[in-house]
Amino acid sequence: MRNGIVILGMMATTCFTFASDLQVTASRKKISSAESHKSFHKNNISDQTRINPGVKGSKQEKVNYAVNVTNRSFSPMPELEARYIIFVERQQLGAKKGTEQVEKITGKESVAGMPAKGSTVFNTQAVKLREQSLSGNWIYSNGGRLKATDSIIGIWIKFFDGDTEVEEYVNPTTLANRHKWE
């Protein structure tokens, strides 16, 4: 009987366990940026200028996350699926403060199996962030926002082995308290 317990214990140590064997980090990367300015010359007025005549211009950039996954165990890791949500706060020119919308950008990536103590990196899809502002003495009569800037709130990643969730990463950690995974 005692030998049976020892054998079972040895078998359990050769299997990959997930709880603390994965180390996940995510860092934001700027992919590109562009700037556009509105021309206010009478003969060169764009449709956007007619709708919002005081718009000075806009700045747009694309960012994504580089996610580094490290297998800290002494056993190989099977292939996993990473499902993620990037939370982006969107602001609108002319809108009052406190009316920001949170957009959830979802995606998934396959994480190749890794040898013991190995690591891999995958990139999330690109997210467009924009910044707009009014020019000169233009204001909104409702006291709305004169400058609108989109910003990334954070990222939430869940790792699955088939249908079983095996690991979770949230940055910042308070994101899970304020938003739901859906």
- What are the pLDDT digits (tens) for 95-122? 778 778 899 999 999 999 999 999 999 9
Report pLDDT digits (tens) over 26-49.
999 999 876 654 544 333 333 444
Predicted pLDDT of residue 95: 76
Mean pLDDT value across the chain: 79
Q: CATH no. for residue 44?
A: 2.60.40
pLDDT of residue 35: 64
Q: Given this model, what pLDDT does residue 7 score?
A: 37
Any domain includes 140: yes
Distance, CA of 182 to CA of 180 (rounded, Å): 6
In a domain, 15, yes or no: no
Segment holding 107, helix H or strand E: strand 101-111
User: Which residues in the chain come in under a pLDDT of 50?
Assistant: 1-2, 4-16, 37, 39-51
Asked if the structure places residue 168 within a domain, the reply is yes
- Note the pLDDT of residue 160: 95
**11 occurs within a structural domain:** no
Classify residue 4: in a domain, yes or no.
no
- Residues 6 or more apart in contact with residue 101 via CB below 8 angstroms: 89, 90, 92
98-114 burial, b at 16+ Cβ within 10 Å, e below that, comes to: eebeeeebebebebeeb
What is the domain extent for residue 51? 20-178
Q: For the chain, where are the alpha helices, taking DSSP H only? A: 2-14, 47-51, 175-178
Please give the pLDDT value at position 51: 47
Length in residues, the chain: 182
